[in-house]
Homo-oligomer: A and B are copies of this chain.
């Protein structure tokens, strides 16, 4: 049996330094009790990632370093933490400290490559280091230490151009006669669908170049508008790889001399939630040359459940309220809300109008019943009539969309009244396809502090709905999304016999074009060359740009940078006066 390294895959809360340090202490104790010789955390585990503006406060940085230095551990431990600047003219470091029992805590390394694109803004907060991350743990044991991005340029997986390549630096160091037993990477690598493949390429490229095992510890959970899926990794130079479970906290023990996986053990976190797939059994550790690839709907369901659940737990939100129309989006959001805070803490409002169909009301009721949550019915008819009477002069010769929006805004007012009254947060139910097209009402169906499916295209919402139903069937429960909800044409029901497709192209086509443009950066000419209809491409991009234009004011920006998986548009929480 060789050196056993523990990857502490935890779920830190941004700003909760004492709580995060306590989690690290519990995890390293568990690792040591199970035979680990050395443990590493994820990137910035003490502050939680991303700490953003907190990093502008020198007192906060010092507190991070102090809390880290005070961590108690029975085995050597490398902890990711913000570090005080090296001079008063410099920014803090994104680094790590080495905690060895019986010795004084010491700064180990600082991150060299600071991503400043997409969801990252690290040059805003940190000073880049220039030295390779070599850590001598004992007379006979030196290891390489890198932090997240440090390893990505080497695999050609970054859009930036850095002067340094920390993996090559470690390789050069080895060639100069300093043997490294292994290298580690402290990561806070945000989730997007299918990212596990890219992350696997990164660790394998590093292991191959270095000629020794390369171990990556990733954070899990939701912080601010980012999600982290875990899936910590160990790779060997010959391409073998082990992957920890997704979406759950725990400790992965890796025997670095035994790369066939027999010695890899997953210790689930005692009071942590389990991932959807595996119930945290040891078997879920994928062994082999390819990381396990989950079915999309299942992975997205775990992702958005984690996002809303962590948002509520970490923000102190106990109760949720949402409007339920019987349509796909609000039905799926209700199911996610129930998974996030429990059925007894979720209130749905059915708010029929003169244009609501019977099946809409029945579908909402069936979903609420299947989920075991409360559903209150409040008609908007009387308010709608009163509003049209009072505002007749404003509306009579105007844009007819103003009348449609009134209904949506009265519903928004009702959702907020119920939420404010009971101290709950409203959840808004829009999906990425309709938000991108502006097919939604500002201050209407857009009210809410959190958009659980705001970063899912409509077709992905169907995938999640089916995953929810399959899961219910597996446990012998009633599938929450009714057959009618899954099969009827989507409609806002703000005018007689209205359907989404009166205004929008079929979602299958819309989503394909939006995905190519937003996620992959395909330009208009590329899209047209890809056999999409030119008129349709022009219509969609014009509407998208007009909507971006509205959202981001006057810059006619062509797209949102949104390749990493955010939790939808960042919206203020349910403010009370």
Does A68 count as interface, using CB distance less than 8 angstroms?
Answer: no
Does A573 count as interface, using CB distance less than 8 angstroms?
Answer: yes
Cross-chain contact of A386 among B225, B383, B439 (Cβ < 8 A): B383
Q: Are B557 and A52 closer than 8 Å at their CB atoms?
A: yes
CA distance A390 to B352 in the complex (A): 12
Known A-B contacts A14-B554, A15-B556, A553-B315; the reply to A398 vs B420 at CB < 8 A is yes
Query: Which of A35-43, A406-414, A457-465, A469-477 lies on the face that meets chain B?
Result: A406-414
Nearest to A88 among chain B residues (CB) is B161
Q: How far is the CB of A489 from chain B (nearest CB, A)?
A: 18
Known A-B contacts A386-B382, A398-B421; the reply to A554 vs B315 at CB < 8 A is yes
Q: How far is the CB of A100 from chain B (nearest CB, A)?
A: 31
Does A344 count as interface, using CB distance less than 8 angstroms?
Answer: no
Q: Are A576 and B53 closer than 8 Å at their CB atoms?
A: no
Does A577 count as interface, using CB distance less than 8 angstroms?
Answer: yes
Q: Are A390 and B383 closer than 8 Å at their CB atoms?
A: yes
Q: Are B577 and A439 closer than 8 Å at their CB atoms?
A: yes
Mark each residue of chain A from 501 to 531: 1 if its CB lies under 8 Å from any CB of chain B, else 0: 0000000000000000000000100000000
Q: Are A391 and B416 closer than 8 Å at their CB atoms?
A: no
Cross-chain contact of A376 among B15, B123, B394 (Cβ < 8 A): B394
Nearest to A314 among chain B residues (CB) is B554
Q: Are A401 and B57 closer than 8 Å at their CB atoms?
A: no
Q: Are A561 and B406 closer than 8 Å at their CB atoms?
A: no
Does A33 count as interface, using CB distance less than 8 angstroms?
Answer: no
| Most B C-beta atoms less than 10 A away, residue of A389, A549, A550 | A550
Taking CB atoms, residues of chain B closer than 8 Å to A53 are: 552, 555, 557-561
Q: Are B224 and A311 closer than 8 Å at their CB atoms?
A: no
Cross-chain contact of A116 among B123, B409, B554, B572 (Cβ < 8 A): B123
Taking CB atoms, residues of chain B closer than 8 Å to A161 are: 89-91
Taking CB atoms, residues of chain B closer than 8 Å to A557 are: 52-54
Does A378 count as interface, using CB distance less than 8 angstroms?
Answer: yes
Does A402 count as interface, using CB distance less than 8 angstroms?
Answer: yes
Q: How far is the CB of A53 from chain B (nearest CB, A)?
A: 4
For chain A, residues 529 to 553, give those with C-beta under 8 angstroms from any C-beta of chain B: 547, 549-553
CA distance A311 to B555 in the complex (A): 11
Q: Are A553 and B575 closer than 8 Å at their CB atoms?
A: no
The complex is assembled from copies of this chain, and their number is 2
CA distance A418 to B382 in the complex (A): 20
Cross-chain contact of A547 among B315, B441, B549, B575 (Cβ < 8 A): B575
Q: Are B554 and A572 closer than 8 Å at their CB atoms?
A: no
Q: Are A417 and B413 closer than 8 Å at their CB atoms?
A: no
Does A66 count as interface, using CB distance less than 8 angstroms?
Answer: no
Cross-chain contact of A576 among B13, B224, B405, B420 (Cβ < 8 A): B405
Does A70 count as interface, using CB distance less than 8 angstroms?
Answer: no
Cross-chain contact of A553 among B380, B398, B570 (Cβ < 8 A): B570
CA distance A420 to B405 in the complex (A): 8
Cross-chain contact of A52 among B402, B555, B570 (Cβ < 8 A): B555
Does A293 count as interface, using CB distance less than 8 angstroms?
Answer: no
Taking CB atoms, residues of chain B closer than 8 Å to A314 are: 554
Mark each residue of chain A from 50 to 76: 1 if its CB lies under 8 Å from any CB of chain B, else 0: 011110110100000000000000000
Does A395 count as interface, using CB distance less than 8 angstroms?
Answer: yes
CA distance A327 to B408 in the complex (A): 29
Does A440 count as interface, using CB distance less than 8 angstroms?
Answer: yes
CA distance A220 to B51 in the complex (A): 34
For chain A, residues 294 to 325, give those with C-beta under 8 angstroms from any C-beta of chain B: 311, 314-315
8 smallest CB-CB distances across A and B, nearest first, come from: A398-B421, A402-B420, A402-B421, A89-B161, A442-B575, A550-B573, A409-B413, A53-B557
Residue pairs across A and B with Cβ atoms less than 8 A apart, 13 shown, are: A52-B557, A116-B116, A121-B124, A224-B554, A387-B417, A401-B420, A402-B416, A402-B418, A405-B416, A405-B420, A442-B574, A549-B573, A553-B573
